[in-house]
Amino acid sequence: MANPERILLREETLDPSYLPARLVRRETELGIATKRFRDALSKGLPYHLMVTGGVGSGKTALVRRLATDLERTGRGTELPVRFAYINCWRRASDRTVMLDLLHTVDVSLPDRGYSLSEMVDVFEQGLRRHPQHLLVILDEAAALVKQETKLVYLLSRSREVALGSISLLLVAAEDLLPYLDAASRSSFGVTHRLALAPYTREDLVEILGARAELALRRGSVERETLDQIARIVAPNGDARFGLELLAGAAHAAEDAESEMVLPEHVRRAKGSLVPTLSESQLEALSTNELGVLLALSRSLKGKGSAVPSQKLRTTHAALLEELKGAPMSRTTFWRTLKELERDGLITLEAAGSGESSRVAMDELPASYLATLVEERMGRGSARKG
Ligand SMILES: Nc1ncnc2c1ncn2[C@@H]1O[C@H](COP(=O)(O)OP(=O)(O)OP(=O)(O)O)[C@@H](O)[C@H]1O
Ligand SMILES: [Mg+2]
């Protein structure tokens, strides 16, 4: 299968730091937030917003997209908009965040010897020198807010404390209101909060598709393979893990000199990112389960991210015949599938009416699983593929 054609044409566009021009499946949220900011800014007022959502739900991408767009459309207007992005995770104190903010108004102070209020004074002078609306993004803000910050109050009351025109965007996984003082809390009422729901499997397929379009050779990955990745990451709605799997699978495909990114490459990527099947788990399986797994891994070794259960049953029956085992009843076959699903080794997907349901295994490369299972069943003829 020699095919030297590359698949990863623009790998940097799968990097977590890359900000896509379009955030598919977050258009509504982005639209709402943009409108609220524009409405306020056009009246010369600041606007504060708290964005929450789970890991990989697109919080950072959303606020960076929002701020970049506001900065661009604010250019040339009376009060230009500028944003400062600060990740508080490593800088969880008012003073360290303030030092970063000072840089955004082109002031640098030594990081010792100044109190917070002295720093705020210098910041105010800096802001005055360059009149602008400053959009301060505090990402991973939980770390800061849990330390009884005064800065959130100062920034959200910038007008009252004569600090110039500042909007504050707080980003966190959890709701921060319980940690804020009463005065700051009043800046983040219901119309100042945006909770991002976890991405669904369908959302993730669309997101992966859009990012694959940017990064990979056209036509090098089928929707079924993207759906396989989405199925794996959907329980956490984590787009970042999905993109990581996509990049890993594309690398595995290139290493194998395959023309396409195939389900087997996804399994390989998943197995190397999070090894899920331990040997002790395999040892605990019954002979019935092993037989079904072996049939499944053989069926999956080629193309396809899942097989119809009917087809699997046929493959399994043939395998039993080959091994001179007793045939298995339909009920036992189903019970075995259910057991494997409960153990987290396979996924059963209901199909449309009249169709047989589909059986998927995303944990390990099917070829590797086949070898393991064959070894365990005492057949030396491990087939590598
Ligand atoms: N709607 C989307 N369209 C395209 N790419 C997206 C979308 N949502 C998220 N991504 C991508 O998924 C990755 C994770 O998103 P992001 O970093 O914004 O998540 P997060 O909610 O900030 O996660 P964390 O809580 O871990 O900080 C990024 O690479 C981002 O570009
Ligand atoms: Mg983030």
Q: Where residue 34 sits, what CATH number does that domain have?
A: 3.40.50.300
* For the CA of 140, the nearest atom of ligand 1: 27
Q: Is the CB of 26 under 6 A from ligand 1?
A: yes
Q: Ramachandran region of residue 304, left (φ > 0), alpha (ψ -120 to 50) or beta? A: left
Domain boundary among 220, 247, 273: 273
Q: Is the CB of 16 under 6 A from ligand 1?
A: yes
Residue the block writes with tokens 């609306």? 133
* For the CA of 62, the nearest atom of ligand 1: 18
Residue nearest to atom 16 of ligand 1 (CA): 58
Q: Where residue 321 sits, what CATH number does that domain have?
A: 1.10.10.10
Residue nearest to atom 24 of ligand 1 (CA): 55
Burial 98-117 (b: 16+ CB within 10 A, else e): bbbbbebbebeeeeeebebe
**Are residue 208 and residue 348 in the same domain, yes or no?**
no
Given this model, what pLDDT does residue 130 score? Answer: 83
Domain boundary among 215, 238, 273: 273
Q: Where residue 242 sits, what CATH number does that domain have?
A: 1.10.8.60
The 3-state DSSP class for residue 323 equals coil
Distance CA 163, CA 128 (A): 9
Given this model, what pLDDT does residue 366 score? Answer: 81
Q: Is the CB of 150 under 6 A from ligand 1?
A: no
Closest CA to 105 of 138, 68, 131, 140: 131
**Are residue 64 and residue 177 in the same domain, yes or no?**
yes
**Are residue 141 and residue 117 in the same domain, yes or no?**
yes
* For the CA of 55, the nearest atom of ligand 1: 25
Residues of the chain with confidence (pLDDT) below 70: 1-4, 76, 275-279, 353-355, 378-385
The β-bridge partners of 166 are 134
Given this model, what pLDDT does residue 380 score? Answer: 41
Is residue 9 domain-resident? no
Work out how many domains the chain is built from and give that number: 3
Distance CA 113, CA 125 (A): 18
Give kind and range of the element (H or E) at residue 254.
helix 239-255
**Are residue 158 and residue 264 in the same domain, yes or no?**
no
Considering every ligand atom, which ligand is closest to the CA of 194?
A: 1
Distance CA 299, CA 117 (A): 68
Q: Is the CB of 14 under 6 A from ligand 1?
A: no
Considering every ligand atom, which ligand is closest to the CA of 174?
A: 1
Distance CA 176, CA 188 (A): 10
Residues that place a CB less than 5 A from ion ligand 2:
60
**Are residue 246 and residue 223 in the same domain, yes or no?**
yes
Give kind and range of the element (H or E) at residue 107.
none
**Are residue 126 and residue 113 in the same domain, yes or no?**
yes
What string of H, E and C letters represents the secondary structure of 60-72? HHHHHHHHHHHHH
**Are residue 160 and residue 296 in the same domain, yes or no?**
no
Angle, helices 239-255 vs 201-215, to 10°: value is 50
Is residue 81 domain-resident? yes
Is residue 187 domain-resident? yes
Distance CA 249, CA 247 (A): 5
Which residue type occupies 200?
Answer: T
Is residue 87 domain-resident? yes
Tokens linked to 110: 């030594």
Distance CA 35, CA 292 (A): 55
Domain range for 226: 200-273
Considering every ligand atom, which ligand is closest to the CA of 56?
A: 1
Q: Is the CB of 27 under 6 A from ligand 1?
A: no
Distance CA 283, CA 367 (A): 18
Distance CA 86, CA 369 (A): 45
Given this model, what pLDDT does residue 267 score? Answer: 94
Q: Is the CB of 82 under 6 A from ligand 1?
A: no
**Are residue 64 and residue 167 in the same domain, yes or no?**
yes
**Are residue 120 and residue 147 in the same domain, yes or no?**
yes
Report the length, in residues, of the chain: 385
The 3-state DSSP class for residue 275 equals coil
Is residue 20 domain-resident? no
Is residue 206 domain-resident? yes
CA of 56 to the centre of ligand 1 (A): 5
Domain boundary among 150, 165, 196: 196
Contacts of 343 (CB under 8 A, 6+ apart): 281, 285, 289
10 alpha carbon, distance to own chain's centre: 19
Query: 384: which DSSP letter?
Result: P
Check: CB of residue 75 under 8 Å from CB of residue 53: no
Give the sign of the dihedral formed by CA 117, CA 119, CA 125, CA 131.
Answer: negative
Distance CA 305, CA 43 (A): 54
**Are residue 165 and residue 31 in the same domain, yes or no?**
yes
**Are residue 205 and residue 187 in the same domain, yes or no?**
no
**Are residue 135 and residue 177 in the same domain, yes or no?**
yes
Rg (CA), the chain: 27
Is residue 17 domain-resident? no
Q: Is the CB of 58 under 6 A from ligand 1?
A: yes
Q: Is the CB of 60 under 6 A from ligand 1?
A: yes
Residue the block writes with tokens 């490593």? 90
The β-bridge partners of 83 are 135
Q: According to DSSP H, which parts of the chain are helical?
A: 27-42, 59-74, 94-104, 116-129, 142-145, 151-156, 182-185, 201-215, 223-233, 239-255, 263-273, 279-283, 287-300, 309-322, 330-342, 366-376
